[in-house]
Structure 1
Amino acid sequence: MKTIFIGINGYDFPYTRVRCFHFAEELRKLGMETEVLSFRDHLAPQYTGIEMLNLGDKEKLRLNFNAMAKLFKDRKSIFYIQKVHYHSGAPFLLSRLTGTKFILDYDDWDIDRSPLFERKILNNIFFKGHDSETVTRNFAQKASACIAASRHLQEYLSQYNNNVFYLPTGVNTERFKRISHNSTNSVNFIWTGLIWGEVIYNNIVFILDCFSVLSKEYKNVSLKIVADGEWYSKVKEVVKKTYSECKIDLLDWIPPDRMPEVLSTVDIGLLPLIPDKPNEIWMKAKSPTKLFEYMAMELATVSTNSGEVLNIIRDGIDGFLGNDKEDFTKKMGILVKDYEFRKNMAKLARKKAEKEFSLPALGKKLFSIIKDIESLKQ
């Protein structure tokens, strides 16, 4: 039986890349027939990923009708629906009309910001609910199973469905694999990501403050930021204005498959996840994709001591957890001055990534879940 992965965005966005394209590829290796329907890549390549989240109802309807035409031919398959956004309308409506089984996959807390239809009547037609919380609850209740990328999401979805499984976003450990190590005396830090709003901007300033303190003590350190997003220009401005004496390299966004090449040039990955009030639950529920990439690339890491990271990192063993700016800076300093400690931490991180967060490991778990659902259909 075929499993069709349905995502709102394209390969460039990690939630669709890993949880649709990569999961589908792993299942094919295990002998399962799979297909991916990316609304952006396959139905609307003229839009950017950000534009896909801000379309008008007319365009959302057009894309859903096109998706329904494609999915109706495969109504005897299992739909794997990544997120409850407007793109999930077509498969959810088809499931109600034809009895197609589906799995709901959630990787981030989007429940309070899900881009559904603007018109309540359209949400009622497609989802039997008008607000995102009601729609998500309906979805979870009707799903044959739910897949959660964080423990917080698992707990939330378990209120509405008895078959909720924990499956982190993970990483392609074959692609994200260090070939060579830094042979110079320099110690290089990195942050990568989308600076989409003020809360992420503030986290970057947090990094810059920590690095500024560190660079006064250690002259052999550098920081690389690889980013995109509406607030990246503000980061560039503040670096030029306030941190010009530090060794900071600002790079624009690169294709995802080139990221291992960039990560091979650094030693330590940084992941602050300090929330503001509106994003408190979002930060707590987020599956940290970049952390898995850092670990797979044998980077030592310093992350915020909160959220899903607590289920991944053992502080001082396969990564560091920082409580505040002073603690974050202190642990960055330990990694700078102690090469052997840094090297050992990085190796343990790689081992954990291979064992627990690699695509083959996650693929086997997902294969078993889907096989159980298939048996219920027969």
Structure 2
Amino acid sequence: MANAACVIAGNQYLADRALKAGAKRVEIIPTVVDIERYHTDSVPSPDGMPRVGWIGTPQTWRDLGYPVYAGLATELEKAGVIFRAVGAALCASREGNLEIVPWSEESEVASIQGMDIGVMPLTDTPWTRGKCGYKLIQYMACGLPVIASPIGANREIVRDGTDGFFASEPHEWSARILQLCHDEPLRKQMGSVARKRIEEFYSLQVWSKQLGDIFLAAGNTKIGARNS
């Protein structure tokens, strides 16, 4: 990193790590989405039941998603809430109130649009502190309110009580999920604010020029160093 004209980091934690590793210049560019691809058009629930959604990989489902679901499964089932896990397995399945939806690039937006609430649970480790909140940004771009662990970039993306909620303990996850499931006006209000936040601060449309400017400046720095 010491030889780089510029290091681009996705959050402050990674930026600090880059500086400690010898980077001379660090710019923070958050994870972004193309808001022309992510729309707020909701996909109606086939059974009329509210859906709490998670998206990730089989490994992150095992380590991060499933432990939260398992602690809430009985309570959510009693409340008539479906937990949709996108990417948790390769094949679709439905067992009790757990709905497994395979992930694909072509279908991921529609899979999120079929949710009512997006969740991003994390444990506090160096790896999770380096994560850049992509799931949250995807949910919010589709107009969903979110519930997230207050760890790493999640704390920068979510404004607690405005476009989502933070939750750490099982009772907090349960309370916030049920609150949003039972309050459709609040879901819509928070989801609308969440979409606006992504448009203004986490969209490709906002950051593409700045990223290009960083590359140009870095290239000019290298050219100047060779000519000096």
Q: 1:209-251 deviations in whole A, cap 9, x for unaligned?
A: 22432332x22x21111115xxx59xx9xx99xxx5x322112
Q: Aligned partners of 1:202 and 1:269: how far apart in 2?
A: 14
Q: Aligned partners of 1:187 and 1:180: how far apart in 2?
A: 12
State whether residues 118 and 145 of structure 2, in contact with CA within 8 Å, keep that contact through their aligned partners in structure 1: yes
Q: Which amino acid aligns with 1:321?
A: F
Q: Which amino acid aligns with 1:257?
A: E
Equivalent of residue 85 in structure 2, options 215, 220, 225: 225
Q: 1:332-371 deviations in whole A, cap 9, x for unaligned?
A: 1110111111111001110011111101112122112122
Q: 1:106-130 deviations in whole A, cap 9, x for unaligned?
A: xxxxxxxxxxxxxxxxxxxxxxxxx
Q: Aligned partners of 1:174 and 1:211: how far apart in 2?
A: 35
Larger radius of gyration: 1
Question: Secondary structure in 2 aligned to 1:158?
Answer: helix
The answer for the alignment partner of 1:149 in structure 2 is 10
Q: Aligned partners of 2:174 and 2:42: how far apart in 1?
A: 27
For residue 181 of structure 1, report the CA deviation from its aligned partner.
Answer: 5.8
Equivalent of residue 252 in structure 1, options 80, 102, 106: 102
Matching of residue 188 in structure 1 with residue 51 in structure 2 = yes
Cα 1:157–1:337 change in 2 (3 A) is same
Cα 1:201–1:161 change in 2 (3 A) is closer
Question: Secondary structure in 2 aligned to 1:186?
Answer: coil
For residue 191 of structure 1, report the CA deviation from its aligned partner.
Answer: 1.0
Question: Secondary structure in 2 aligned to 1:196?
Answer: helix
Relative contact order higher in (CA < 8 Å, ≥ 6 apart): 2
The answer for the alignment partner of 1:201 in structure 2 is 63
Equivalent of residue 309 in structure 1, options 138, 154, 159: 154
Q: Aligned partners of 2:150 and 2:170: how far apart in 1?
A: 11
Q: Indicate the RMSD between aligned Cα atoms, in angstroms.
A: 2.3
Q: Aligned partners of 2:43 and 2:110: how far apart in 1?
A: 12
State whether residues 4 and 24 of structure 2, in contact with CA within 8 Å, keep that contact through their aligned partners in structure 1: no
Matching of residue 274 in structure 1 with residue 98 in structure 2 = no
Question: Secondary structure in 2 aligned to 1:257?
Answer: coil
The answer for the alignment partner of 2:41 in structure 1 is 179
Q: Aligned partners of 2:51 and 2:74: how far apart in 1?
A: 13
For structure 2, which runs of at least 5 residues remain unmatched after alignment?
none
Length-normalised TM-score, structure 1: 0.54
Cα 1:202–1:161 change in 2 (3 A) is closer
For structure 1, which runs of at least 5 residues remain unmatched after alignment?
1-139
Q: Which amino acid aligns with 2:82?
A: S
Question: Secondary structure in 1 aligned to 2:153?
Answer: helix
For residue 291 of structure 1, report the CA deviation from its aligned partner.
Answer: 1.1
How many residues are treated as equivalent by the alignment?
220
Q: Which amino acid aligns with 2:108?
A: M
State whether residues 64 and 121 of structure 2, in contact with CA within 8 Å, keep that contact through their aligned partners in structure 1: no
Length-normalised TM-score, structure 2: 0.87
